[in-house]
Amino acid sequence: MVDRRFRVAKRSITMSKKYDITFVGHMCYDEIIPFRGKARVAPGSAVLCGAMVAARVGRKVAVVTKMAKKDEAILQPMKDIGIDTWLIPSEETSYNRVLHESENVDERTMTLIKSAGLISIGDIPVLDSSCVHLAGISDTEFDMALMKGLKSRNFASLSVDMQSFVRHINPITKNHEFSDVADKKEIAAMMDKLKLDIVEARLLTGTDDLEEAAIIIEAWGCSEIVITQSKGVLARVKGKTYYEKFSNNSVAGRTGRGDTTFAAYLSYRLDHEVPESLKFAAALVSIKMETPGPFSGTLDDVIKRIKEKHS
C-alpha cells in the first residue's frame, strides 16, 4: 500500500511544473552477459534509457517508476540531470538477466529474476505533461485499466512499447517468452504512437517486412508507428513510410537500442517533422550503441553525427 504522505506530496508537486515527456515503468538491475565476455550488473530499464536521452537533448522530463525504496539511489543519475522522479514503493526492484549466446546481438535469453509488479492508475500522479510513454520491459508492468485511465487524462501524445506485452514472463523459468498479444488491436487503437522491434512486429503481424508490418498495425488504428531492427529504424506516419539506417561502429551498447531510438524520436518529434526526427533518433542511438549503458552524449554530439553520417 502506498503511504498517504507520498500521495499528498505528489499532489502538491505535480501541478507546479509542465513536462515535455513522462516515462512510466519499472527501474531494474540489468545483468548483461556478453557472448564470451564478462558479466556486468548495472541499473537499467526502458525508463532509464529513455529518460536519460530526453533530458540530455534538452527536454523537461518526469519519471514515474515502481521499485523498492531501499534502491532509490539508482535514481540519482536521472535526478542529477534534472529529471523529476516519482517512486511507487514495491517490495523489490526488478532484476533482469540478459544472456547473449552467440555473436548475433539480437539472439539473447532474457530472464526476469525479480519484478516490482503491476502499476495501477491510482499510483500515477496527475502530471501536466505533453507526452506520456509507457516504457516497460515485460507483461508484469501495465494492464488495460492503466492504459485506459491514462487515455482518459487526454495527453497530447500517449505511447507504449509493445515489448511490454509481447514479452510474457514464464511463471516457472522466469524467462521472457515472446508471443502474440490478444488485445493488440485495442492497445494500438488507444495509442497516438507505438514502438516495436522487428521480432515484436513479426509476432504481432505475421511478417518481418517492416513496412508491411507497419501498414497492418496502422490499420488497427494507430497513426504513428516506429519499428527498429539491427540496421536501422522505420517510421510509418499517416500513410507514409520513412526509413533511416544506423551508423554505429560497434554494438558494445546494443542493450537499450529500441528504448533509446524511440525516446530520441519522441523528443525531437515534439517540434520537428518525421524525417528530421528519424534522422535524429538514428544518429543518437548509433552513438549510444558504441558504448554500454544509457546515452551519455550531448545534443552537439548528435548534430555532429547527423552531419557526418546522416545528411
Q: What is the DSSP letter of 76?
A: H
User: Considering the domain boundaries, does residue 156 fall inside one?
Assistant: yes
Condensed to tens digits (0 to 9), the pLDDT of residues 17-66 reads 999 999 999 999 999 898 888 999 999 899 999 999 999 999 999 999 99
User: Considering the domain boundaries, does residue 285 fall inside one?
Assistant: no
Condensed to tens digits (0 to 9), the pLDDT of residues 70-122 reads 999 999 999 999 999 999 999 999 999 999 888 887 678 999 999 999 999 99
User: Considering the domain boundaries, does residue 270 fall inside one?
Assistant: no
User: Considering the domain boundaries, does residue 104 fall inside one?
Assistant: yes
Q: Which domain CATH number covers 208?
A: 3.40.1190.20
User: Considering the domain boundaries, does residue 300 fall inside one?
Assistant: no
Q: Give the pLDDT confidence score for residue 37 in this predicted structure.
A: 85
Give the domain extent around 162: 4-219
User: Considering the domain boundaries, does residue 67 fall inside one?
Assistant: yes
- Rounded to 10 deg, the angle between the 274-288 and 257-269 helix axes is 140
Give the total number of structural domains in the chain.
Answer: 1
Q: Give the pLDDT confidence score for residue 186 in this predicted structure.
A: 98
Q: Give the pLDDT confidence score for residue 163 in this predicted structure.
A: 94
Q: What is the pTM of this model?
A: 0.91
User: Considering the domain boundaries, does residue 268 fall inside one?
Assistant: no
Query: Which phi and psi (to 5°) does residue 231 adopt?
Result: -95, -15
Confidence band of 252 (pLDDT split at 50, 70, 90): confident
Full strand arrangement of the beta sheet holding 108-114: 40-44, 28-33, 94-100, 108-114
Q: Give the pLDDT confidence score for residue 103 in this predicted structure.
A: 82
Using the structure block, give the residue that is written with the C-alpha cell 500521495. Answer: 7
Q: Give the pLDDT confidence score for residue 311 in this predicted structure.
A: 87
Average pLDDT over the chain, rounded to an integer = 92
Number of C-beta neighbours around residue 21 at 10 A: 25
Closest CA to 193 of 233, 163, 221, 152: 221
Report d(CA 246, CA 282) in Å as an integer.
5
Q: Give the pLDDT confidence score for residue 255 in this predicted structure.
A: 79
Task: Tell the burial category of 44 from Cβ atoms under 10 Å away from its Cβ (0-12, 13-18, 19+).
Answer: buried
Q: Give the pLDDT confidence score for residue 16 in this predicted structure.
A: 62
User: Considering the domain boundaries, does residue 57 fall inside one?
Assistant: yes
CB of 274 closer than 8 Å to CB of 281: no
> Looking at the predicted structure, is the pLDDT value of residue 210 above 90?
yes
Tell me which of 87-91, 147-151, 214-218, 290-294 is least confident.
Answer: 290-294
Q: Give the pLDDT confidence score for residue 251 in this predicted structure.
A: 86
